[in-house]
């Protein structure tokens, strides 16, 4: 399985470490590819969009001509895990920003929703079927609106902070900055299932 991690800016190493730490839980070989140019997108089975600064990431994926292929791959169903700035890149609508990025996830996101000054905080909550997951927030967005067919995975104080829509998982928090690997394992299983299904056709 070739997992591409967008590596133009932000916390991509943390995702890579998380994947390496769980790779031997799976029969398939797991390979991490750092996406820095268009050719890095070839033959990927899964995509991770990390946290960081969405304005910078959005500009770089356009400048490096990664944008169109990346968007097409997500729309074609390649499993995608997006955290924080990654969620902002996926969102169809941004509440306090006129920019639109990949726009593949039918949700509305508010950037820096907890205030610009708030560095970080953490709480624990169930994320879908995963119980008591540590949620780490860093200048995080939250989700203010979702399409009816988007599954809400987790809310904190009435605000949605995690969703799943078809092949896309969008999280306002950072599972890659914890020692809890269950979300990455869930994602890798999704990648494996998707690739195995495709082989059958
Ligand atoms: N505040 C950042 C943004 O708007 C996201 C923060 C993060 O990814 N930790 O892009």
- Is the model's pLDDT at 200 over the cut of 80? no
Q: Indicate whether residue 11 lines ligand 1 (CB < 6 A).
A: no
Q: Per residue in 108-149, pLDDT tens?
A: 999 999 876 666 899 999 999 999 999 999 999 999 999 999
Catalytic residue among 15, 84, 101, 164: 84
User: Do the annotations mark residue 152 as ligand-binding?
Assistant: no
pLDDT in tens, 2-53: 999 999 999 999 999 999 999 999 999 999 999 999 999 999 999 999 999 9
pTM score, two decimals? 0.96
ipTM over 0.90: yes
**Residue 194 annotated in active site:** no
Active site residue 32: no
Average the pLDDT over 58-67 and give the result: 98
Distance CA 142, CA 147 (A): 15
Alpha carbon of 190 to ligand 1 centroid (Å): 25
Domain 2-199 belongs to what architecture?
3-Layer(aba) Sandwich (3.40)
């Amino acid at each position: 399985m070739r997992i591409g991690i967008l590596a133009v800016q932000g916390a991509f190493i943390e995702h890579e470490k998380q994947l390496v730490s769980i790779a031997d839980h799976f029969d398939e070989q797991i390979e991490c590819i750092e996406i820095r140019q268009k050719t890095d997108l070839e033959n990927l089975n899964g995509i991770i969009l990390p946290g960081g600064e969405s304005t910078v990431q959005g500009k770089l994926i356009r400048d490096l001509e990664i944008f169109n292929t990346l968007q097409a791959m997500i729309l074609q169903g390649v499993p995608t895990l997006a955290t924080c700035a990654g969620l902002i890149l996926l969102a169809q609508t941004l509440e306090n920003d006129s920019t639109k990025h990949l726009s593949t996830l039918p949700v509305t996101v508010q950037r820096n929703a907890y205030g610009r000054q708030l560095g970080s905080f953490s709480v624990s909550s169930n994320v879908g079927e995963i119980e008591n997951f540590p949620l780490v927030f860093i200048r995080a967005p939250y989700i203010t609106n979702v399409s009816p067919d988007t599954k809400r995975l987790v809310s904190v104080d009435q605000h949605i902070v995690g969703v799943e829509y078809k092949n896309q998982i969008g999280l306002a928090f950072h599972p890659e900055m914890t020692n809890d690997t269950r979300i990455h394992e869930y994602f890798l299983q999704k990648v494996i299932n998707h690739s195995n299904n495709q082989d059958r056709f």
